[in-house]
């Protein structure tokens, strides 16, 4: 716990945590679900869910609406406004750094590209477009060609932003390659280090607690202490 609170050995339920904290920011991959399967006990813990729960994910592969639909299909209470993704956070960071219309090389899904376009920047897929930045998020379709474009752009001086650096991704079949493994390929080819942008926003809550399944799965972007709980049962 970053605030000195000790919950080791605790069996605190979602309800008991709500009595202590203003809001719960729930990590998703490996904490709430693994791919198409819910983590055992997660639905029961959130059965009395209310507006003090916000789902956050550093997996930038899907739109918030798609994540919310997936949660509902698995039996979790969720709507589009209760989901925050790292693609949204990364897009805001880029919008703060660059003027409207600036080209940004997207290494990731169309969901990430849409967030970039939504803040007034121009998503591109080639280093020949002279992008001012590269934003890299998880996509099951990432391959050599787009990683080569990212390498060229980063070596040419583009700002490099990664939505997460988790080396693995929990699924119902086990751990598979995560965005961090693809980030490592570009890092190895360029010698550069990306700026990390995860899915916490300052407007979310005053005193949150963040349950997460991994050490790298949740990295606050501000320096304010944020109480967090590691979910050991999902590792």
211 contacts: CB under 8 Å, gap ≥ 6: 24, 25, 26, 27, 31, 228, 229, 230, 231
Q: How confident is the model at residue 201 (pLDDT cuts 50, 70, 90)?
A: very low
Across the beta sheet with 159-162, what order do the strands follow? 122-124, 103-107, 133-136, 159-162, 195-196
Q: Residues 220, 201: contact at Cβ < 8 Å? A: no
Tens digit of pLDDT for each residue in 87-96? 999 999 999 9
pLDDT at 54 over 70: yes
pLDDT score recorded for residue 50: 55
Q: Which residues pair with 104 in a beta bridge?
A: 123, 133
Lowest model confidence (mean pLDDT) among 44-58, 71-85, 169-183: 44-58
Q: What is the mean pLDDT of the chain?
A: 82
pTM confidence score: 0.78
Structure tokens at 39: 């983590």
**29 among known catalytic residues:** yes
Tell me the average pLDDT across 134-151.
98
pLDDT at 214 over 90: no
Domains contained in the chain, CATH given = 18-85 (3.40.50.1000), 86-196 (3.40.50.1000)
pLDDT at 120 over 80: yes
Question: Looking up tokens 């930038």, which residue turns up?
Answer: 60
Of 29, 79, 80, 141, catalytic: 29
Handedness of CA 175, 181, 182, 183 (dihedral sign): positive
Tell me the average pLDDT across 98-103.
99
Highest mean pLDDT among 24-28, 160-164, 225-229: 160-164
Tell me the average pLDDT across 200-222.
41
Of 27, 50, 79, 80, catalytic: 27
Helix, strand or coil, per DSSP, at residue 64: helix
């Amino acid at each position: 716990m970053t605030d000195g609170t000790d919950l080791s050995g605790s069996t605190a339920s979602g309800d008991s945590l709500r009595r202590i904290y203003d809001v719960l920011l729930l990590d998703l991959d490996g904490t709430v679900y693994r791919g198409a399967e819910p983590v055992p006990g997660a639905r029961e813990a959130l059965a009395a869910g209310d507006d003090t729960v916000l789902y956050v994910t550093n997996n930038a592969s899907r739109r918030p609406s798609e994540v919310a639909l997936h949660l509902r299909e698995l039996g979790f209470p969720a709507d589009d406004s209760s989901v925050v993704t790292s693609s949204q956070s990364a897009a805001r960071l880029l919008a703060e750094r660059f003027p409207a219309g600036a080209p940004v090389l997207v290494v990731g899904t169309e969901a990430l590209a849409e967030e970039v376009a939504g803040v007034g920047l121009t998503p591109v897929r080639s280093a020949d477009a002279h992008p001012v930045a590269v934003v890299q998020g998880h996509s099951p379709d990432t391959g050599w060609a787009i990683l080569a474009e990212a390498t060229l752009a980063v070596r040419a001086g583009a700002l490099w932003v990664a939505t997460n650096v988790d080396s693995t991704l929990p699924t119902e079949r086990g751990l598979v390659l995560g965005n961090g493994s693809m980030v490592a390929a570009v890092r190895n080819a360029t010698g550069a280090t990306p700026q990390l942008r995860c899915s916490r926003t300052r407007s979310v809550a005053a005193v949150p607690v963040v349950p997460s399944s991994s050490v790298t799965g949740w990295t606050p972007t501000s320096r304010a202490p944020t109480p967090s709980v590691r979910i050991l049962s999902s590792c």
